[in-house]
Amino acid sequence: MSENSEVYDVVVVGGGPSGATAACDLARAGKRVVLLDRAGRIKPCGGAIPPRAIRDFAIPDSMLVAKINAARMVSPTDVEVDMPIDGGFVGMVDREHFDEWLRQRAANVGAERRTGLFRRFTRDESGVNIVHYEERLPDGTMQDQTVRARAIIGADGAVSAVARQFLPDADRVPFVFAYHEIIKAPQPGQAAYESRRCDVYYQGKVSPDFYGWVFPHGDTVSVGTGSMHKGFSLRDSVAELRKQTGLDEVETIRKEGAPIPLHPLPRWDDGHSVLLAGDAAGVVAPASGEGIYYALVGGRLAAEAVGEFLDTADAKALKLARKRFMRANGSVFRILGLMQWYWYANDKRREQFVSICRDQDVQKLTWDAYMNKKLVRAKPIAHVRIFFKNLAHMTGLASV
């Protein structure tokens, strides 16, 4: 094992959007940061980021592989409802390149990048963290390494090894298992596909408790689905979805799968010097499965909390990350959780849900909330109308 007595301020474990953002913000603030990431992993992801993320996190236009101006919702009976975006767009990124760009941005402002697989952390007699990881050498062999730091940010994904070490029940949080295939974009007229439209399939055959998607990525397309049901074959579902949409003959570039947490963990820190962020903290939106924006926000809030901890040596500062996140996003998560629980329960309700999406009030408020990442309170009459429309559908008083 390689020993190193040098003590950094922070080791960030995981180089996805959350970890890379935390490392970048801390390095910019003058902290000595190590960004530890394992090479070669690409998370399955639709790749959508709202305008607020582009603004708040200075995402350059060059990172957007597509700009979406509409979504198409497809019901169990193949009813299609288009939801155009009025005067805006949703950006699409390819995680293979987007995540690396975020990591390199962190390095450009001073974070030290290391490639390795996190194994565990220990502490010396003074309370300094010792992060143990495996580094792959050029000859393919693995070498044990350590790095010492005053604080650790665990941004190592839904099944977080950092979280499992101090939260024994962390791996019991329910997950949606997501799977997608990145394929070449079809030629015009080759399939039922539009390069500026996201198609979302609310069909029990595609997913018994989530949804399927066809999302444009410029030269490529993400076709995927997710489910909590371990007996449900995600691969078979995606194969059928590709056949259904005429994308089965298009070349497959890669296939990826991973768990997605369903709700934020009740605790994100260990009360000493370790804090979770991103998927490791469970910050993925229910119903939609959207994670990139919330990962970026979680990384920034983790950096702020750890920065305060480093400046004050008060471990209570670590709790600020979760407190601030839930204050800003808790209401949205609760509403989306209720939506998923009710509308995704069976095909009859999915049919009603897609029918509701025809409504212009629903479309306007949905896009406003998504694009700006907050509940829209400026239109109370529209909210009242939507409430009664939802009630009518839930009680069966409205026709599909």
CATH of the domain at 279: 3.50.50.60
Q: Are residues 25 and 124 in the same domain?
A: yes
Q: Cα(238)–Cα(245) distance, rounded to whole angstroms?
A: 10
Q: Are residues 40 and 178 in the same domain?
A: no
Q: Are residues 140 and 215 in the same domain?
A: no
Q: Are residues 270 and 307 in the same domain?
A: yes
Q: Are residues 40 and 101 in the same domain?
A: yes
Residue 109 neighbours by CB distance under 10 Å:
15
Report which residue type is found at 395: T
Q: Mind spelling out the 3-state secondary structure of 184-212?
A: ECCCCCCCCCCCCEEEEECCCCCCCCCCE
Containing H/E element for 326?
A: helix 320-343
Domain CATH number, residue 226: 3.30.9.10
Q: Are residues 389 and 247 in the same domain?
A: no
Are 272 and 121 spatial neighbours (Cβ–Cβ below 8 Å)?
Answer: no
Q: Cα(271)–Cα(372) distance, rounded to whole angstroms?
A: 33
> How crowded is the C-beta side of 86, counted as CA atoms within 13 Å?
8
Report which residue type is found at 350: R
Helix axes 380-394, 347-356, angle to 10 degrees: 150
Strands 129-136 and 142-154, bridge-based pairing:
antiparallel
Q: Please report whether residue 338 resides in a domain.
A: no
Q: Are residues 153 and 275 in the same domain?
A: yes
Q: Are residues 144 and 100 in the same domain?
A: yes
Q: Are residues 266 and 157 in the same domain?
A: yes
Q: Are residues 111 and 182 in the same domain?
A: no
Containing H/E element for 328?
A: helix 320-343
pLDDT score for 361:
81
Give the three-state DSSP class for 153: strand
Segments of 38-160 assigned E as strands: 48-49, 66-68, 70-74, 80-84, 90-92, 112-115, 117-123, 129-136, 142-154
User: Can you give the pTM of this predicted structure?
Assistant: 0.90
pLDDT score for 4:
60
pLDDT score for 382:
46
Are 131 and 119 spatial neighbours (Cβ–Cβ below 8 Å)?
Answer: no
pLDDT score for 285:
86
Give the three-state DSSP class for 368: helix
Per-residue pLDDT of the chain (400 residues; tens, 9 = 90+): 445 679 999 999 999 999 999 999 999 999 999 999 987 677 777 889 999 999 999 999 999 999 999 999 999 999 999 999 988 899 999 888 999 999 999 999 999 999 999 999 999 999 999 999 999 887 878 899 999 999 999 999 988 999 999 998 776 777 889 999 999 999 877 777 889 999 999 999 999 999 999 999 999 999 999 999 888 999 999 999 999 999 999 999 999 898 888 889 999 999 999 999 999 999 988 888 888 999 999 999 999 999 999 999 999 999 999 999 999 998 888 888 888 888 899 999 999 999 989 988 888 888 887 887 765 454 544 444 544 445 444 444 444 4
Give the three-state DSSP class for 72: strand
CA-closest candidate to residue 349, choices 63, 5, 75: 75
Q: Count how many domains the chain has.
A: 3
Q: Are residues 180 and 327 in the same domain?
A: no
Range of the domain at 385: 359-395
CA-closest candidate to residue 178, choices 224, 135, 236, 222: 224
